[in-house]
Chain A
Amino acid sequence: MLKKYEKIIIPLVAIILGLLVGMLILLVSGLDVGALFSGLLQGATGIKSGSDLNLRYPGELLVTAIPLIFTGLAIGFAYRCGMFNIGADGQVIFGSLCAVSFALLVPLPGPLAAIGTLLAGGLGGAIWAFIPGILKVKFNISEVVTGIMLNYVALYGCNYFIRILPGSTDTKTAEIPLNASLESEFLSSITNNSRLHWGIVVVIIATILYWFIIEKTSFGYQLRATGFNKEGARYAGIKADRSVILSIMISGFLAGLAGSMLVQGTFTWGRILVASESYGFDGIAVALVGGCNALGIFLSGLLFALLSVSETILQVAGIPREIGQIISSSIIFFVAIQYIIKFFLDRSFKKKKRAVSSKEEAA
């Protein structure tokens, strides 16, 4: 029974323990615990007792969740294929650069511009992920090492290229054409002027495709099999090298789409980054808590976004914004710890079984 629900129970326990830590810290510092929950409720639904429903909060929640879900899917996809794509952060940044360059330099009519910009970001991420992929296959260099190094190359390199795009200032590029953005007057108007954009539809489609490819296609099976045992997969007639590169490129494509979302939705311009915004690293947490499973990642992306957008509301209620970060870090910590607990539980469970079976033998 434990095994069957384990995947749901572990993150749920971790979330509850994480909130518990947050509440304890608030209690110890003499702050209002109730405000934490009313703040989270308001962030998630826009409902607050004593004031009007404000749908801007759930709108902004989705805006924050969209890139997080994409990087979560990116990390999750690579992980399911036996790889740790820690370079996702660089892929987000390079994806943003490609998206904003495409939007500014390639004028296309109507919605084609938006679709082109979206794909340009995804392809940018895939190209950036190809580098650790090919190095892993050709020279057996760990994708973790190259990924981390490429994060810095992307951060500083892209700043240079963003600056030389036509119309760029010291801090950002010119605004992208309206038809290249995913902005939606309709979505914005139903959520009280939030920045909600059509990316929400894209992210839902991507989540479904993730599930379908990983769980339901022989292509996804080949990728997973390669990650599970490369030599075994090769023996079974799978082109293992090709699978490794494809896995990390698909992961990079998803991370690149997170970059497109930032350019086309959250902002409508490219930005010069002074430091990494760690979308890629947050994706690791999202994937971990979501169990690398499509629906799980979607929900945990929403959870981390909620903790982040509630910061504003909590500050208004006199609670320091750091509490959101404390809770999300605690959740990650407990998910990690849960694997250790599970390990011990499994062992004691097996011991019992062995004891039972040896008794039976004796009898």
Chain B
Amino acid sequence: MKNILKFALVAFLAIALVGCGSNTPSEEDPGTAAGECEFTVGLVTDTGGIDDRSFNQSAWEGLQKWAEEAGAEDCISYLQSSAETDYEPNLRQFGDDGTDLIVAVGYLFDESIKTIAPDYPESHFLVIDTTSDLDNVASAVFASEQGSFLVGVAAALKAQEMGSDTVGFIGGMESDLIMAFQAGYEQGVEAVDPNMTIYVDYANSFDDVAIGQSLAQKQYDAGASVIYHAAGNVGNGVINEAQERVGAGEEVWVIGVDRDQYEDGMLEGGESSVILTSMIKRVDTATYTVAKAAAEGNFTAEIHTYNMAEDGVGAETTEGRNLSADIIEAINGYRDQIVNGEIEVGTTRYITNGEHGTVAEFRALAEEAE
């Protein structure tokens, strides 16, 4: 017992001494290097973390792009939140450090931004996916329904190619934000084929892979040929299920969300993927644009909706992947119609959680209820 104690103490002191010796290089770390920057940017992630393969990562990539162009690689930094309680202290950390632009990624930040932004009038803030009317906060929201419309078109056309009349949608939480994804998807599917049946399920989670897999199992068993997921990490369960089925000789597809998920859906051998296409939400465009404007002294505290016209949202249509040339052409056609206003995509969804049917059936039900 005493020996253990002695050993521990000696080792502790030894390492502490070594540690103190190497103290100097830390002075150049991102935190302190900020002193030499004309303009500093700090990004606070939500609990998903910086490498979530989704919007946190995308937001950071946008900042990296700006920093590279501006030669300010040492002037951007991020803080990851381990829990919801970390949001305020992390934002304040950047505020206290005098960071010029503070980016909060996600709608869960709306309360903390409200409390904190007024305390740091010198700093500018950018909040993603939610809105704020404070005069040092810019908000970036996305017309997700427009991008979802295009992947709906892709889903319906692919189903037709396969001779199927059923597609699926799996959402994370049944919130306004995610229901807009469903709404756009419904309209896209309906535009191609009004008789297409859509299965709709919500996982009530953004991180439970197992639920994603079991919902996908249900929908594929019911005959869905393509499933669009708007459910963060839950979507990885959908991808797993599709990979297993394709491995067993079935033909099923998944549509990814937020960023190009093609790599995430790779099959054994790494030559093809179960990802048909992905709904792209350009969070990186938002962080890049705002960082650039703010660094040039042109920060505006406006609420900006990134829509299809300015490439804020869209569908991934790389040639030589799983979309046929015909489908890509059709997608581009609808894209132009949305951009020039011929098609207006709404945010009202009709098919309720756990149900299935054509959009027209459920629209009729909704109108009856009114």
User: Which residues of chain A have a CB within 8 Å of any CB of chain B?
Assistant: 2, 9, 13, 16-17, 19-20, 23-24, 26-27, 32-37, 54, 56, 60, 63-64, 156, 159, 170-172, 193, 195, 266-267, 269, 271, 274-275, 277, 308-309, 311-313, 315-318, 321, 325, 341-342, 345
Identify the 6 closest CB pairs spanning chains A and B, nearest first.
Answer: A33-B19, A170-B175, A34-B23, A316-B31, A318-B29, A32-B26
| Interface members, chain B 13-49 (any A CB < 8 Å) | 15-16, 18-20, 22-23, 25-26, 29-31
Give the contact-size bracket for chain B. Answer: 35 or more
13 contacts between A and B (CB under 8 A): A27-B18, A32-B29, A34-B20, A34-B26, A35-B23, A37-B16, A56-B89, A170-B175, A171-B108, A171-B175, A267-B84, A312-B90, A316-B77
Residue of B nearest to A325 (CB): B82
B157-175 near A? 1/0 per residue, CB < 8 Å:
0000000000000000111
The interface residues of chain B lying within 8 Å CB-to-CB of A171 are 107-108, 175
- B97 adjacent to chain A (CB < 8 Å): yes
Given A33-B15, A171-B107, check contact A311 B85 (CB 8 Å): no
- B264 adjacent to chain A (CB < 8 Å): no
Determine if B205 and A275 form an interchain contact, defined as CB atoms under 8 angstroms apart.
yes
Known: A20-B12, A318-B26. 5 other contacts (CB 8 A): A23-B12, A34-B26, A195-B88, A308-B82, A316-B30
Determine if A34 and B176 form an interchain contact, defined as CB atoms under 8 angstroms apart.
no
The interface residues of chain A lying within 8 Å CB-to-CB of B207 are 274-275
Among B18, B79, B88, point to the contact of A316 (Cβ < 8 A).
B79
- B206 adjacent to chain A (CB < 8 Å): yes
- How distant is the Cα of A106 from the Cα of B39 in the complex, in angstroms? 49
- How distant is the Cα of A275 from the Cα of B210 in the complex, in angstroms? 14
Residue of B nearest to A163 (CB): B174
The interface residues of chain B lying within 8 Å CB-to-CB of A277 are 83-84
- How distant is the Cα of A309 from the Cα of B79 in the complex, in angstroms? 12
With both chains docked as a complex, state the minimum distance between the C-beta of A268 and any C-beta of chain B, in angstroms: 9
| Interface members, chain B 83-126 (any A CB < 8 Å) | 83-86, 88-90, 92-93, 96-97, 107-108, 111, 119
Determine if B1 and A315 form an interchain contact, defined as CB atoms under 8 angstroms apart.
no
The interface residues of chain A lying within 8 Å CB-to-CB of B22 are 32-34
- How distant is the Cα of A156 from the Cα of B211 in the complex, in angstroms? 14
- B248 adjacent to chain A (CB < 8 Å): no
Given A20-B8, A33-B18, A312-B90, check contact A170 B174 (CB 8 Å): yes
The interface residues of chain A lying within 8 Å CB-to-CB of B369 are none
Determine if A316 and B97 form an interchain contact, defined as CB atoms under 8 angstroms apart.
yes
- How distant is the Cα of A142 from the Cα of B4 in the complex, in angstroms? 37
Determine if B8 and A54 form an interchain contact, defined as CB atoms under 8 angstroms apart.
no
